[in-house]
Amino acid sequence: MAMNETVEPTRRDFLYLVTTMAGIVGAGAATWPFIDQMRPDASTLALASIEVDIASLEPGMSLTVKWRGRPVFIRNRTAKEIEDANATALEELKDPVARNANLADDQPATDLARSAGEGRENWIVMIGVCTHLGCVPLGQAGDFGGWFCPCHGSHYDTAGRIRKGPAPENLAIPPFEFVSETVVRIGQAAAGSA
C-alpha cells in the first residue's frame, strides 16, 4: 500500500466504533444514579445559608437563630460593650485568634476582627456553642458581661472571646455578610447570587 492511498472504513470498523460508543453511553447511564445520589438534596442546600432580618434589634438586644442545626447569636452591642471589648489587651486573652470564618486564620482576636467589621462594630454574629463541650452559653452573663456557660463555668466577653474557664477557644464566627442595612446572610451565598 502506498503512502498516498486512503483506506475506506469497512463495515467492521463502523460496528466496532458503534459498539464502543454504545458501551460508553451504557456505562455512563448505569453509573449516573450512583454519582447523582452523592449530591446534597434540596433541603441540605436550603440550610447552606439563611437570611435574618435584624431591623428590630436595638442596641443591647440579641437574637438567636438556628443555622445548620446550631444556634447562632446575633447581637447589636451597646457602646459600653464595644468599649469594654476594646479595652481588653490581647495579652489577657486565653485564645488570641479571632476564629472568624470571614478573615484569615491567623487574624488576632481584636474586637474589630470579632465584629461585623469597620462601620458595623456594634454587630456580632457567633455560633452559640461553647468550645469546651458544646453547651449553649447564656447571653449577657458571666464575669465579663458577654456569655457564660453554666455547665462548666466558661466566661466569654462582649466580643465572644474566652476569658475564663475550661473552654479552649473563642466562640466561632460563621461566614456571614450584610445583604442590606437590615438583613444579614449567614452561610455561603446562594447559587447565582453575588
Which are the catalytic amino acids? 152
Rounded CA separation 135/51 (Å): 24
Please list, in sequence order, all residues whose beta carbon lies within 8 angstroms of the beta carbon of residue 192, skipping any fewer than 6 positions away.
none
CB-count burial class (<10 Å; 0-12, 13-18, 19+) for 177:
middle
d(CA 184, CA 177): 6
Q: Are 78 and 60 in contact (CB under 8 A)?
A: yes
